[in-house]
Amino acid sequence: MTARILVVDDIPANVRLLEVRLLAEYFEVLTAGNGPDAIETCENGKVDVVLLDVMMPGMDGFEVCKRLKSDPATSHIPVVMITALDQVSDRVRGLEAGADDFLTKPVNDLQLMTRVKSLVRLKSLTDELRLRASTTRNIGIEELLSRNFATEDTKPKVLLVDERKSSIERIQKMLRGSADLDVATDPNAGFFQAAETAYECVLISTAFADFDALRLCSQLRSLDRTRFLPIMLLADEGEEGRIIRGLELGINDYLTRPIDQHELTARLRTQVRRKRYNDQLRASVTQTIEMAVTDALTGLHNRRYLDSHLETLFDRAVARRRPLSVMITDLDRFKSINDAHGHDGGDDVLREFARRLRKNVRGIDLACRFGGEEFVVVMPDTDGPIAEKVAERIRAEIAQAPFAIGSGGKTIEVTVSVGVSSVLRGADTVAALMKRADLALYEAKSGGRNRVVAKAA
C-alpha cells in the first residue's frame, strides 16, 4: 500500500523522525514546518493522510485541522493529531476540530503504522467514490458535500453490543440526547440485528465472558450489508494487542475504559459524518450510472446502454452457438399523434407503449428506447420463429386496446410496425443484424403498417 503522508511539525527533528519511519514502510512523505504551509500543501498536492503536531507557534494544530475540515477541497483528507500529552481535553478539542485520530508523543511504531494504514485504506475508498461521482456527473463534489452537511443534525441510529449491565447503563446515559441507541446483550443476536437494521455505527464491547468480540467485528466486515458500517471497539486498559488486531480486521475506532463522555460523542460524530459522506457519494454514483443508461421518459434502457450491451450478447451467442434475435419497433404515424395531441399526448403514448412492451418481454430480454418512437428488444436464446411470435404478440397488444391521452378520458388508436432479425450461422456482425431488422421494419411499413416482418435466418 503506497500513499502520500504529510508530516507537519514545527521542530525539524520531529519531522525527520516520523519521515524516516514512514519511508521505511515505503510511504511517500511530504513535510511542512507550520500550519499555513501544511494547508497549502493539502490544497495543491495529493495528500492521503496528515500527521499534524498540535503545539505549533502561530497557527496551532487545532486551527489547521479546523481549516482543512471546513474546506470541501480538503475535508476528506484524514488528519491524525499528534499530542504531547495524552489528555482527554486535547483529544476532545481535536475531535471537535474534525480530527480523525490521535497519536501521543513519543509515537509508538505499531500504533503509527496501524493508524496510518487504516486511514489510507479509508481514504482510497473515499477517493474512488469521489472520482466516480465527479467524472460521471456535472454537479461538483463540493455541492454533494454541502448537501451532506444538511443531514448532520439527525441523531444517528447506533447499536451497542455489550453484556455488562452497568456498562450498558453508563453508555446509555452518555449517549442520551446524541444518539438513538439500541442494545444487544448477545453477540450473535447483535450480528443479526446489525445486518437487518440500518445502523450508522456499532459499538462493541470487548468484555464478554465467553465470546471474542473480534469475531463479531470480522463477521460484520465480511457481510455485504455491514461492510461499510463503522465499528468502534470499547476496550479495557491493557488490551492494546487486541485493539491492534481489531484495527487490522477493519474496525474504525476504539475507546479505552474508563470512557469519557465527550470523547465518545465526538468520536461517534466523526464516524457517522464519514459514513454519511461516503453513503452520499455511493448513492450519487449509483444514481448517475442509472441515469446514464436509462431513458427518462419510459424508464427503459436507452440507446447508450444498448450500444454497450448488444455486442456482448451477440459475442456470447456466437461463442456458445446459441440463437439471438432482435426486433425494432416503430409506432405508426407517430408524427400525426404529436400534431393532433401535442407533445404531452405523444409522451403519454410512448410511456404506455413502453409499459405494454415491457409486459410482453422476458426478464432476460433487453428492451430499450432506441430514439424517438423507435424501440429495440434484444432476445437472447431466441430463434427467428419464436422472436416473430413475440413480435406478433406485441403488435396485437398495441392494436387491441386504445391508448389513453391526458387525464380527461380521451383515447386514441395506436399501431406498431415491427422488423425482426436473428443471428446467422457463419459470418455475421451486430451491424448486419441490426441492418436486417431495419430492412424488415421498412418492409412492414411499406407493406401497410401494423404488421411484423421477419428476415429469415
29, three cell numbers: 512523505
Closest approach, Cβ 60 to Mg ion, in A, equals: 9
Read off φ and ψ for residue 351, nearest 5 degrees: -65, -45
Closest CA to 457 of 430, 420, 431, 429: 420
Alpha carbon distance 440, 391 (integer Å): 12
The nearer residue to Mg ion, 53 or 348, going by C-beta atoms, is 53
**74: amino acid identity, one letter:** T
42, three cell numbers: 493539502
Closest approach, Cβ 265 to Mg ion, in A, equals: 28
Closest approach, Cβ 260 to Mg ion, in A, equals: 24
Binding residues (CB under 5 A) for Mg ion: these are 10, 53, 55-56
Sheet of 201-205, strand order: 180-184, 157-161, 201-205, 231-235, 253-256
Closest approach, Cβ 280 to Mg ion, in A, equals: 36
Beta bridge partners, 416, equal 331
Alpha carbon distance 167, 407 (integer Å): 62
Alpha carbon distance 418, 358 (integer Å): 15
Q: Are 372 and 343 in contact (CB under 8 A)?
A: no
The nearer residue to Mg ion, 35 or 246, going by C-beta atoms, is 35
The nearer residue to Mg ion, 55 or 399, going by C-beta atoms, is 55
28 is known as an active-site residue: no
Closest approach, Cβ 58 to Mg ion, in A, equals: 11
Closest approach, Cβ 64 to Mg ion, in A, equals: 12
The nearer residue to Mg ion, 29 or 55, going by C-beta atoms, is 55
Closest approach, Cβ 1 to Mg ion, in A, equals: 28
The nearer residue to Mg ion, 7 or 391, going by C-beta atoms, is 7
Alpha carbon distance 127, 256 (integer Å): 30
Closest residue by beta carbon to Mg ion: 55
Q: Report how many helices (DSSP H) and strands (DSSP E) the chain contains, helices first.
A: 15, 17
290, three cell numbers: 442509472
Candidates 19, 163, 352, 373; catalytic one: 373
- 3-state DSSP percent of the chain in helix, strand and coil, to 5: 50, 20, 30
The nearer residue to Mg ion, 54 or 216, going by C-beta atoms, is 54
160 Cβ contact partners less than 8 Å away, ≥ 6 residues apart: 168, 171, 172, 181, 182, 183, 184, 202, 203, 205
Assign residue 162 a region: left if phi > 0, alpha if psi is -120 to 50, beta otherwise?
beta
The nearer residue to Mg ion, 55 or 59, going by C-beta atoms, is 55
Q: Are 259 and 171 in contact (CB under 8 A)?
A: yes
Which residues belong to the active site?
373
